[in-house]
């Protein structure tokens, strides 16, 4: 029974991660943070809007960042009163090494 609970917990984490990655805006945030870490909300927002033609309010954009933070893809550091966002690819690599590894055979 404990094994089933652990598997379900892993499934829950996988589902949350796949949902987070399933949104275009969030993938663009990841793209921009992969180019340069430690960006403020305003910096990331400006780069995503200008480089990827995604238009939405900063409040909605902030919610996308929160989703990525909740699944561990975005980490936060504070510099004074400014929240700086950085990319942590560990959850993505875990997904690649676990469930997605089933599909990595030679094509």
Question: Per residue of the chain (107 residues), what is the pLDDT tens digit?
Answer: 333 434 455 678 889 999 999 999 999 999 999 999 999 999 999 999 999 988 899 999 999 999 999 999 999 999 999 999 999 999 999 888 777 777 866 55
Q: How far apart are CA 26 and CA 61, in angstroms?
A: 9
Give the per-residue pLDDT at 50. 93
Q: pTM here? A: 0.83
Give the per-residue pLDDT at 60. 95
Give the per-residue pLDDT at 1. 39
Q: How far apart are CA 4 and CA 66, in angstroms?
A: 29
Q: How far apart are CA 13 and CA 76, in angstroms?
A: 20
C-alpha angle with apex 58: 57 to 59, nearest 5 degrees? 90
In this structure, what are the phi and psi dihedrals at residue 80, rounded to the nearest 5 degrees? 65, -120
Q: How far apart are CA 32 and CA 40, in angstroms?
A: 12
Give the per-residue pLDDT at 13. 86
Give the number of C-alpha atoms closer than 13 A to the C-alpha of residue 104, restricted to the C-beta side.
Answer: 8
């Amino acid at each position: 029974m404990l094994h089933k609970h652990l598997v379900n917990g892993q499934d829950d984490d996988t589902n949350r991660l796949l949902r987070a990655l399933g949104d275009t805006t969030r993938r663009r945030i990841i793209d921009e943070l992969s180019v340069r870490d430690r960006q403020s909300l305003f910096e990331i927002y400006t780069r995503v809007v200008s480089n990827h033609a995604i238009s939405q309010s900063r409040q909605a954009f902030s919610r996308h960042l929160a989703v990525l933070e909740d699944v561990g893809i975005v980490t936060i550091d504070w510099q004074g009163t400014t929240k700086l966002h950085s990319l942590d690819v560990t959850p993505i690599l875990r997904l690649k090494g676990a469930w997605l590894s089933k599909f990595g055979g030679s094509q």
